[in-house]
Each structure stands twice: as structure tokens, then as C-alpha cells.
Amino acid sequence: MVYEDFAKVYDELMQEINYDEWADYIFRMTLNSTKPIKKILEFGCGTGNITLRLAKKGFDMTAVDLSEDMLTVADEKAEAQGIENVRFFKGDMSNFQIGETFDAVIVCCDSFNYLKSLDEIESFLSCSAEALKPGGLLMFDMNTPEKYKETIGDNTFVYNFDNVYCVWENTLHPDDDKVDFDLSFFVRREDDLYERYEEEQSQYYYPVEDIFKLLKVPAFKNQKIYDFGTFLAGGALSDRVQYVAEKR
């Protein structure tokens, strides 16, 4: 299962990510909405780092992830911080029915790159359209093929923190448009011995224009691609792009 063991050390390994800036970026995008945004449905929420920050900004958050372990961590963090305007559910972004409508649907932190095919992406877009109120925003980011080929693929990264040592090996498969991640991480226990865990994951990449074409369906309008973190036009040479579309 994706992140089953990784949930134990996810926050420590991801501490280089500025979640405050990420949440602020999403907040700024909501300000461009033609209608007020209050209820947000988030997929791939992980341990809730962005979820809880948006909840603190006053949004009512419904957050979904495939991993029960990640959701357990997220729920514990919400309780510890006294955040009540958030709900966590286990679910699959590629095929869902939520039974209510929202002002926005979001996917953050390249969780979208776990979708394995254009069919899965089309299914997500269709389900999102069903879950959005008229005028609601769909917002998701993706790492680009350029980033996987030039920065991520076939490289090994080593992280050495106080209680976690991790070796992250990547293998690029250009014929399949994917990258395999093999992680070995060692977690310091209370007795100062280390426990070893291993994790295998894959992410998939798609031409920016292909995803944009999928957004050009009658259910959506005002489709945009931003260079992530900005409101400038994004494209194939960006490392990460942000897609935004409005439900008709």
C-alpha cells in the first residue's frame, strides 16, 4: 500500500517543503473565484499538512487519501491542534462518489502524478465535475515530464535527519512515462537502535498539453495552467504546473 510504512516518517522527510507557502498559494487562487469558496474537497491529503493549514484559514475541509496510516496521522494532528472543521476519509481519487457538492476540489503535492493512465485522469475529472457546485474551482498540480527526466529520474537522494536516515533511489522508465521510487529508511527507536523499512512507489508523467486537453470538456470553463507558485503561464519547461478550471 502506498505510504503504509512511509506514514511513520513522512513529515520528517518532507520538512523541506514549505507547506505555509503552498496553502497560501491555494488561498490566493480561491480569491480569484467568481463565487465564494467555503467547502473544499481535497484528495491525496497525506498527513494533512495542507489540509490543516487551509482549515485554519476558515475553510471547511473534507480530505481523502488511500492510506489509512496517513489518515491516522492527519487525524491525530487535527485533534492535537484543536481543529474541528475537517473530516478525513479513505478513498480513491480516480473513482469516487461523495454524495454532496463542494466549492472547490483540490489535489496537492504532485499526488496527481500517482494516477496511472489518462483514463484514470478522465475519471477523476468527471467525478470532480459531479462533486463541484456551479462556479466551483478544480485545482491540481503536477510534476512535468521535464522534471522527471532532468531532475528526478535515475537519481539517488539521501536524507539524514535526527531520527531518520533515508536512501531514495529513482528509476526512470521513459518508454512507460513513469518513475519508480525505491525507499529504504531507518528509524531510530527509543532504545537508540534503528528499525528498517522499505517502500516502493511509482509516479507517472504526462505532457502538459495532454492534461489541458482533457480539461477542455463542457463541464469546465476558464481553464488555466500556471507555472507553480505564480500566476504566470506554465508549460512544458516548468518543473511543476498548476491547473485551474471552473465548473460551468
Q: Please list the residue range(s) of the chain that carry CATH number 2.20.25.110.
A: 144-202
Give residue-wise pLDDT tens across range 155-206: 999 999 888 999 999 999 999 999 999 999 898 889 999 989 888 999 999 9
Q: In the prediction, which pLDDT does 17 show?
A: 94
Q: Please list the residue range(s) of the chain that carry CATH number 3.40.50.150.
A: 1-142+205-245
Average pLDDT over residues 93-115: 96
Q: What are phi and psi of 29, to 5 degrees?
A: -70, -35
Q: CB–CB of 84/54 below 8 Å?
A: no
Tell me the three state secondary structure of residue 49: helix
Buried b (16+ CB within 10 A) or exposed e, 110-122: bbbbbbeeeebbe
Q: What are phi and psi of 32, to 5 degrees?
A: -85, 0
Q: Cβ of 86: how many Cβ atoms within 10 Å?
A: 24
Cα 106 from Cα 86, distance rounded (Å) = 14
Q: CB–CB of 105/132 below 8 Å?
A: yes
For the domain spanning 144-202, the CATH number is 2.20.25.110
Given 1.10.150.530, 3.10.105.10, 3.40.50.150, 3.40.50.720, which CATH number is that of 1-142+205-245? 3.40.50.150
Average pLDDT over residues 207-212: 98
Cα 144 → chain centroid: 14
